[in-house]
Structure 1
């Protein structure tokens, strides 16, 4: 079965909630409250939680499936990939990766994180191993548009 595909803003919102330590079941319950105020209090003030909840109301089944069985982004800009690295994987720009405008380079991910990222991002992004891995440290990755 193909993974549910979520638009960038809503997938990133789910990642923001998850980054606060909520399980999939807890997120379903939190979204069931249908309260932007609860999301602002428990997750963060930034962003349009009202618009996110509108999307959840219209696509509840897809969102719940995404939470329980996984998902992939329908489309993801380079800024979205950068945000995903920060939100989901706790990576810091300048330390764990560098932003090059239309690509990310020197991305430092363990093999499990890289596999997870590959499952999330659409196929229009390519992952290119760069020289520089030392010892047991994985080689850095460059993320760029696929040819």
Structure 2
């Protein structure tokens, strides 16, 4: 676990947004390999800009090529985690899950998605899960320290 790839929540959100928007992993891999933000241009939207994506990653020693295989976010804010969950799993807060002060509830994911979540989530959040039906888990994300609430 000591060699796990760590990236910022911001980088993770941009990466997952590109995956969701472009739906072309080969193109994303090529953009990362070449450090060419123009290949991510079609993923850009108001809050998702890639102009400084590679510069930021280099300045913060984020290993983007390895992060494509899996990563752990260094820290998650409440709102940032909501955005990441929406991008990563193509869900919408207040429609697909409840979004509260220090927690998110009723997130329905496959077992594989739960494992992706657990691998990516920063240590300041805890995953609570219960089986729902046929391979679907209902997950709550709770800010560490608020688990007993």
Q: TM-score range by the shorter chain?
A: 0.7 to 0.9
Change in CA separation of 1:58 and 1:92 when aligned onto 2, cut-off 3 Å:
same
Task: Give the structure 1 partner of residue 141 of structure 2.
Answer: 143
Counterpart CA distance in 2 for 1:137 and 1:56 is 36
Task: Give the structure 1 partner of residue 24 of structure 2.
Answer: 22
Task: Give the structure 2 partner of residue 34 of structure 1.
Answer: 36
Residues 103-114 of structure 1: pairs in structure 2 closer than 5 A: 103-114=103-114
Task: Give the structure 2 partner of residue 121 of structure 1.
Answer: 121
Task: Give the structure 2 partner of residue 65 of structure 1.
Answer: 66
Counterpart CA distance in 2 for 1:86 and 1:58 is 27
Q: TM-score, normalised by structure 1?
A: 0.80
Counterpart CA distance in 1 for 2:135 and 2:111 is 10
Change in CA separation of 1:84 and 1:122 when aligned onto 2, cut-off 3 Å:
same
Q: TM-score, normalised by structure 2?
A: 0.79
Structure 1 gaps, min length 5 = none
| SS of corresponding position for 1:126 | strand
- Alpha-carbon displacement from aligned partner over 1:93-140 (angstroms, at most 9, x marks no partner): 22321111221111111211111101100122112236x93x436452
Aligned residues: 141
